[in-house]
Amino acid sequence: MSLVAEPTATLDVALAHATRLLGSHATMAAEQASEILKIFPGHPQATLILGTAEVNLRQPRRALELLTPLARANPNSAPVHLQLGLALGAIGEGESAIAALRHSLKIQPELPSAWLALADHLSATDDQEGAQAAYSAHIRYSTRDPRLMTAAIALHENRIPEAESLLRAHLKKAPTDVAAIRMLAEVAARLSLHEDAENLLARCLELAPSFHAARQNYALILHRANKPAEALAQIDHLLGFDPANASYRNLKAVVLCRIGEYPAAIEIYAQILEKYARHPKIWLSYGHALKTAGQQDRAVDAYRRCVQLEPGFGEAWWSLANLKTVRFTDADLQIMLAQLQREDIDDEHRHNFEFAAGKALEDAGEYAESFRHYLAGNDLRRRLVLYNADDTSVRMQRSKRLFTQAFFAEHAGVGSATTDPIFIVGLPRSGSTLIEQILASHSSVEGTMELPEIISMTRALRQQSAKTDSISYHQVLAKLSADELRELGERYIDRTRVHRKTSAPYFIDKMPNNFAHLALIHLSMPHARIIDARRHPLACCFSGFKQNFARGQNFSYGLQDLGRYYKDYVELMAHYDAVLPGRVHRVIYEELVENTETEVRRLLDYCGLAFEEQCLRFFENERPVRTASSEQVRKPIYKSAVDHWKHYEPWLGPLKSALGPVLEHYPAVPIF
């Protein structure tokens, strides 16, 4: 609409009309603003309207020609800097976009679209904590319903019980309010009720298929629930609408890494870094993917870039140490020690620095000082996780009481007929990755990773136990019918198919903690192979003590807890040896190192595989390896690590005491 065509229209009326058009007719809004600017050249509001219209019309470069000088002239205008941030993000200038969005929010925190755009950018850079806070602020400020606004504020301030109560009351009156459903799903996710969150978000998308923010939440929940194929389907749906969205692409890279598609993930991370080159967290994720894919030099470069950008980023320093092949310089060590002197460093960074400094000092032969740092790192981690050694012992004893020889005799012939899986169990740092690499070098065996599916199955059974009179998943498992046990095995094969990339008839699941779930494995897949990787208790436990595990090994942060856990493990495996004789094949790490070919032949015989020379040249296998031993198994077997724990023997008294007769009898087993 032209001003000339309406001579009576005032400037304010024309600007108001153009502003209204922005929401539904961006082209017409641009035309209106252009007409205003012909009469009032450089008018700030008309320029902002035209710039905003160009952003909406996906013409960000034209928008920047207008918005860049406008932002310089109007440093205190939140709407101008918001649109500048959106335009910069659209052309891939992620760093500048984040700065502009933060500037707009500093001026006017109540801008929901700025919070949403900032959240997407932070998510793309792997700053999940920052992204979560920004998404919460978006929900808070985008809500207009007074009842929902109160719930949104409670959610934003992490007052979860209050938010849940308000949302449930609201949904009783308005059960199809998708904004409220999405918020309740967020409450469920924060309470780790992932199944509830998944169901709520599925309902949300059933009601509003174009609710992209809810779909992104849904993809993330599916990923966390170990449903990578379903998560990828949701992400690809989102990318169909916005192919360049860095937040969606980052989430896709995360899921691709989960299923072993590292080349594709590495490519995505490299593209994201073109836009966010100064964000250390995305460099860290890039380094992790490169490391797992065997590209160690590039991984080191990525980690080094990370610590250059943020010297106080403890996880990046630990990631360098965790390669096991990097030797820190004196300058590196001084940087780490200086960071540990800071009073403002948080525990998450501090414990990573403690473990990294311990490794640097270990390599320098300063064992007493090295142990001091390892101990400090473990003490910090132990305060951050929940673990009770008595609970572990109770679970192990429960398994022994329930799963007797008579029980297994009664259940003979049940379960799936599959022969595909080869389970490698034991404790972390027991040589299991070496065994996996040897087997995966056979032409009939595919190596995958530490698959979470057995743990997911126990979690599902545990949920069933909560709905019955049972007190543990073991009791639910013991009551399952033959059909249900067969379905469990078939579900495992179906759920793990996404991790298999070749046509090899066998594949490896190397989740060490699965030793605690041998009854589940045997009952659901009685023909699967089970290999127990065992290493000298002091070597294995102290290696675990030095290892700052990302998650899942909460027993490893105290020497006494480690000793008790190892003892419980040996006792439980001795029980299965007695009630299922010959079912489990044991590999003693020291014997594998000393007599490699003999032990490899025994291993292959147990698996029903013909000997292949390549199994002795496992270090030539270029498959991705995700565990802490990833670089060590890319070298021929060496003996130097067998007795390395002896450097620390003066400080291992609590571990020895907790191990008791298990240490004295190794590699034999005491009578329990």
Q: Which of 123-132, 212-221, 296-305, 334-343 has the lowest mean pLDDT?
A: 123-132
429, 569: one domain: yes
The arithmetic mean of pLDDT across residues 450-478, rounded, is 84
* pLDDT surpassing 60 at residue 8: no
Which tens digits make up the pLDDT trace of 623-657?
Answer: 565 554 545 555 666 665 668 899 999 999 999 99
pLDDT of residue 592: 94
pTM: 0.84
The string of DSSP letters for 527-576 reads TSEEEEEE--HHHHHHHHHH---SSS-GGGGSHHHHHHHHHHHHHHHHHH
Domain end marker among 204, 224, 258: 258
User: Would residue 247 count as lying in a domain?
Assistant: yes
The predicted pLDDT at position 7 comes to 41
Cα–Cα dist 384/407, whole Å: 39
Average pLDDT on 448-456 reads 91
Q: What is the CATH number of the domain that holds 188?
A: 1.25.40.10
Predicted pLDDT of residue 5: 39
Looking at the domain assignment, is residue 31 inside a domain?
no
319-330, pLDDT tens digit by residue?
999 998 899 999
Mean pLDDT along residues 300-318: 96
Per the domain annotation, does 625 fall within a domain?
yes
Q: Tell me the C-alpha to C-alpha distance, in Å, between residue 282 and each of 87, 99, 124, 430, 449.
A: 22, 17, 8, 31, 23
- pLDDT tier for residue 24 given thresholds of 50, 70 and 90: confident
Beta strands in 71-141 (DSSP E): none
Q: Would the pLDDT of 402 be above 60?
A: yes
Q: What is the mean pLDDT of the chain?
A: 91
Q: What is the pLDDT of residue 6?
A: 43
Checking if the pLDDT of 64 tops 60, the result is: yes
Domain count for the chain, please give it. 2
Question: Percent of the chain beyond pLDDT 90?
Answer: 72
Domain-ending residue, one of 258, 283, 316? 258
* pLDDT above 80 (res 468): no
Non-local (6+) Cβ contacts of 208 within 8 A are 178, 214
Report if residue 202 sits inside a domain.
yes
pLDDT tens, position by position, 150-167: 888 888 888 999 999 999
Residue at a domain's end among 258, 291, 319: 258
Closest C-alpha among 322, 372, 387, 381 to residue 349: 381
- Domain membership flag for residue 5: no
Pull the structure tokens for residue 302.
Answer: 């990525």
Whether 312 shows a pLDDT value over 70: the answer reads yes
Residue 294 pLDDT > 90, yes or no?
no
Please give the residue range of the domain that contains residue 569.
389-665
CATH code: domain of residue 594: 3.40.50.300
Poorest-pLDDT segment among 370-374, 467-471, 578-582: 467-471
At 138 the pLDDT is: 83
In tens, the pLDDT along 349-377 reads 999 999 999 999 999 999 999 999 999 99
| Position 3 confidence tier, pLDDT thresholds 50, 70, 90 | very low
Say what the pLDDT of residue 1 is.
Answer: 33
Residue 533: strand pairing partners: 426, 587
CB neighbours of 331 closer than 8 A, spacing ≥ 6?
Answer: none
Residues 566 and 425 in one domain: yes
- Per DSSP, helices labelled H in 174-313 are 178-190, 194-207, 212-224, 228-241, 246-258, 262-275, 280-292, 296-309
pLDDT of residue 627: 53
Q: Is residue 568 part of a domain?
A: yes
> 440 with 431: CB under 8 angstroms?
no
Give the pLDDT score at 625.
59
Residue 163 lies in a domain: yes
Q: Is residue 518 included in any domain, yes or no?
A: yes
548 neighbors 377 (Cβ within 8 angstroms): yes
pLDDT digits (tens, 9 = 90+) for 239-274: 999 998 999 999 999 999 999 899 999 999 999 999
